[in-house]
Structure 1
Amino acid sequence: MLQVKNMSFSMLDKQILNHITFSIEQGKFVGIIGPNGSGKSTMLKIIYRHLKQTSGAVTLYEKDIHLIPKKKLAQEIAVVSQETPVLFEFTVKDIVMMGRTPYKKWLANENKEDFAIVEESMRLANVLYLENRPFSQLSGGEKKRVMLARALAQQANILILDEPTNHLDIEHQYQLMDLVKDLPITIVAALHDLNLAAAYCNEILVMKEGSLYMKGTPEQVLTEETLKHVFHVQAGVSKNPFTKKLHLFFYTHY
């Protein structure tokens, strides 16, 4: 579905990504983990065409993403980024309605279908009660959930999440992850919380110093040896007694 082929990226003579190659199958929940500065966000920005790689290629359905028209790409890929810049005073409902833009012709009005999709997206993201609130007056966690609702309203086949649980309390972290896990689409998420990655991801990409260090299932990737080598921490790996998923605990630097 999505392929990254020998992709590199540099800026101001600094090499940030180094010859990265991987593919993502349709319907997978793929996590991207790695220390700060390892290139996670930069790689995602290249995939959703906010940046352009220095060399290599990113293809969607075997077509170079830079040859796909902007509106068509927005119908295929929705993004919830770390930043939530909104320059004007919009209500929550206005923001979520922007997710319908890729399907609208110039100056076309919203129709009943758009309003129904927007309402359902707000309900799923648990922000329907905020629909008439100004976006600028929301907390960081509320803003994150509104941006998720906007992405859901896009009805794209791929959802890219860059640190989606930032600013969220633990209840809303798990609500968000449960929600996206059950979507019938492909999820690609950069995550800091390794236990969330272990609990929700089918596959995990491990980034280290701008390179792809490892790719595999949580069981293959989240080992004591890998955590020590990549994150420089001593860790134990066990099973969560409730979910039977991997659970990590950290106890010292080495």
Structure 2
Amino acid sequence: MLQVKNISFSVPEKQILHDISFSMDQGKFIGIIGPNGSGKSTMLKIIYRYLKQSSGQVTLYENDMEQMTRKKIAQEMAVVSQETPVLFDFTVKDLVMMGRTPYKQWLAQDSKEDFAIVEESMKLADVLYLKDRTLGQLSGGEKKRVMLARALAQQANILILDEPTNHLDIEHQLQLMDLVKELPITIIAALHDLNLAASYCDELLLMDEGNLHRKGTPEQVLTEETIKQVFHVQAGISKNPFTQKLHLFFYAENVGRSEDK
């Protein structure tokens, strides 16, 4: 479905990503993990065309994404970023309605179908009760869920999430992850929380210093040796008694970066 081929990305005096390649199958939940500064968000921004790679190619259904229009990309990919880049204080229902924009002609009116999709998206993201509030009246967690509702209203085949659980309490973290896990689409998420990644992702991409360090299932990627090497902490691995998924616990004493790092 999606292929990343030999992607590198540089800014003046620094290379951020180094010759990264991988592919993603339709319907999978893919997690991108790694320490701060490893290139997770940069990789996502290249995938959804916010940034242009220095070299390499991203293809969607074997089509070069550089040749696709922004409207077509928005029909295929919905994004919930770390930031909330809204310049005006729209109401929640108006903001979620913006998710229907890729399907409209210029100045076209909202249809009954649009209103139905927007209401269902707000219900799924648990923000329908906020529909008449403005963005400035919301907490950080509420804003995150509103942005998810807007992304759901796009009805795209791929949902990209950059640190989706930031600003959310434990209950809403699990609700959001349960919701996106059940969606019949491809999910690509950059995650800090390794236990959430282990519980919800079908496959993980482990980034380290701009390189793709390892790719595979959570069991293949989240080993004690790999966690010590990349995250510089001791790790113990057990099973979550509720889900039977991997559960990690950490211990930082006597584990640090070598002097040359």
| Partner of residue 152, structure 1 | 152
For residue 137 of structure 1, report the CA deviation from its aligned partner. 1.3
Q: TM-score, normalised by structure 1?
A: 0.99
Give me the whole-angstrom Cα distance separating, in 2, the residues matched to 1:156 and 1:144.
18
| Partner of residue 94, structure 1 | 94
| Partner of residue 53, structure 1 | 53
Give me the whole-angstrom Cα distance separating, in 1, the residues matched to 2:99 and 2:136.
18
Task: Specify the code of the residue in structure 1 equivalent to 2:34.
Answer: G
SS at match of 2:173: helix
Query: Given the alignment of the two structures, is residue 36 of structure 1 paired with residue 36 of structure 2, yes or no?
Result: yes
Query: Percent of counterpart pairs with the same letter?
Result: 79
* Cα deviation digits, residues 43-83 of structure 1 (max 9, x gap): 00000000000000000001111111111110000000000
Q: TM-score, normalised by structure 2?
A: 0.97
* Cα deviation digits, residues 156-181 of structure 1 (max 9, x gap): 00000000000000000000000000
SS at match of 1:133: coil
Q: Which runs of 4+ in 1 moved over 4 A?
A: none
Q: Which residues of 2 match residues 5-84 of structure 1 at below 5 A?
A: 5-84=5-84
* Cα deviation digits, residues 174-205 of structure 1 (max 9, x gap): 00000000000000000000000000000000
What is the CA RMSD across the aligned residues, in angstroms? Answer: 0.5
Structure 2: unaligned runs, 5 residues or longer: 256-261
Task: Specify the code of the residue in structure 1 equivalent to 2:211.
Answer: S
SS at match of 2:159: strand
| Partner of residue 120, structure 1 | 120
SS at match of 1:172: helix
Task: Specify the code of the residue in structure 1 equivalent to 2:106.
Answer: W
| Partner of residue 183, structure 1 | 183
For residue 242 of structure 1, report the CA deviation from its aligned partner. 1.1
| Partner of residue 229, structure 1 | 229
Give me the whole-angstrom Cα distance separating, in 2, the residues matched to 1:57 and 1:246.
34
For residue 241 of structure 1, report the CA deviation from its aligned partner. 1.0
For residue 245 of structure 1, report the CA deviation from its aligned partner. 0.3
For residue 98 of structure 1, report the CA deviation from its aligned partner. 0.2
Report if the CA contact (8 A) 2:30-2:187 is conserved: yes
For residue 239 of structure 1, report the CA deviation from its aligned partner. 0.6
Structure 1: unaligned runs, 5 residues or longer: none
For residue 12 of structure 1, report the CA deviation from its aligned partner. 1.2
Give me the whole-angstrom Cα distance separating, in 2, the residues matched to 1:241 and 1:132.
41
Give me the whole-angstrom Cα distance separating, in 2, the residues matched to 1:146 and 1:192.
21
SS at match of 2:252: strand
SS at match of 1:235: strand
For residue 252 of structure 1, report the CA deviation from its aligned partner. 2.3
SS at match of 1:249: strand
For residue 251 of structure 1, report the CA deviation from its aligned partner. 1.9
Give me the whole-angstrom Cα distance separating, in 2, the residues matched to 1:9 and 1:170.
35
Give me the whole-angstrom Cα distance separating, in 2, the residues matched to 1:140 and 1:19.
35
SS at match of 1:176: helix
Report if the CA contact (8 A) 2:232-2:252 is conserved: no
